[in-house]
Every structure is written in structure tokens, then in C-alpha cells.
Amino acid sequence: MASTNRLLYDERLTAPKVWWCVAMLFGIALALVFFPYGPIAALIGLVVGTCLAGMYVSAQGSTRIRVTEDTLFVADARIPLVALGQPEALHGDDARAWRTYKADLRAFMVMRSFVTGAVRVEVVDPDDPTPYLYLSTRTPELLVEALSVQS
């Protein structure tokens, strides 16, 4: 049986490549801290420091946003598109404002500091106390287009 629920949008909010370099530098710094205790301690510091920093960078880049014909998938959340209002693309100062002083504590927010664009979508479901979704994205216009299919 073929699925009619085709994928309209897919984005993984991956961390910038420079963050991986910083993770390696963290490992090297930890190796230098342990170097006075011997080369084995320095090697252990290098491996442990690089692995810990790498796990952090990997976790920051593991969030995924997907839109199908009837559902928005963000991280572990699954939100039917009929429960969402009109999406709005945000750039620069607008995006910054909605993630800082205009932010509502009840909002569902997926923010990444290394992604400057965002989409804000009102939640129109009367049973849901969440006022809106704030989603960091590198391509706000494409996400708005995918979310507007149901409207």
C-alpha cells in the first residue's frame, strides 16, 4: 500500500563546521592540561575531551524539522497542520525579538544560536495552551511554503 503522505520539507539543523574544529581544539587543550602527568594521561585527555565536545556538537545538530501533507514533525513533536495558523518568516531583528523580549513562556520554541532565520506559527487549536511555535530554520520561506499547503 503506497503512502499518500509525501514529504514537503526536510531540514536538519546541523552545527557549523567550525564547531567541530572547536571540539577538536577542546580535546587538544585537555591533553595539554594532562601532559605533565605523562603521555598516556595526555592521550586519555585528548580522547575524552574530543569525545565529550563532539557529543555536544552532535546533539546541537540532531534536531530535524519535517513537514508532510498533514503533519509537522519537530524533534519529538508531531503537530497536525490543521492545528496551525498562518506561518510567518522571520529574519534578523524580527527573529531576535520573537526569541527574546516578545517571547511567550508557553510557546514551543526550537532555537539554535547558529541559525539566524526562523518561522513563527500561531497555534489555532483551542484545546492547546501553546500560543505559537518558533522554529529556527535556514530557509524560512521554504518552510512557510510547506506549512501553508494546508491553509
Q: Which amino acid is at 125?
A: D
In a domain, 103, yes or no: yes
In a domain, 22, yes or no: yes
User: Is 64 strand, coil or helix?
Assistant: strand
In a domain, 66, yes or no: no
Q: What is the pTM for the complete model shown?
A: 0.80
Contact at 8 Å (CB) between 3 and 140? no
Which helix (H) or strand (E) element contains residue 9? strand 7-12
Contact at 8 Å (CB) between 80 and 55? no
The answer, yes or no, to whether residue 2 has pLDDT greater than 50, is: no
In a domain, 3, yes or no: no
pLDDT interval class at 114 (50, 70, 90): confident
Model confidence pLDDT, tens digit, residues 31-74: 999 999 999 999 999 999 999 999 999 988 788 999 998 899 99
d(CA 135, CA 69): 18
| Section 126-148 average pLDDT | 93
| Section 79-86 average pLDDT | 92
Domain hosting residue 107, numbered range: 71-147
Number of domains in the chain: 2
Residues 38 and 84 in one domain: no
Residues forming beta bridges with residue 122, ordered by sequence position: 132
Residues 75 and 54 in one domain: no
d(CA 100, CA 102): 6
In a domain, 83, yes or no: yes
d(CA 27, CA 97): 36
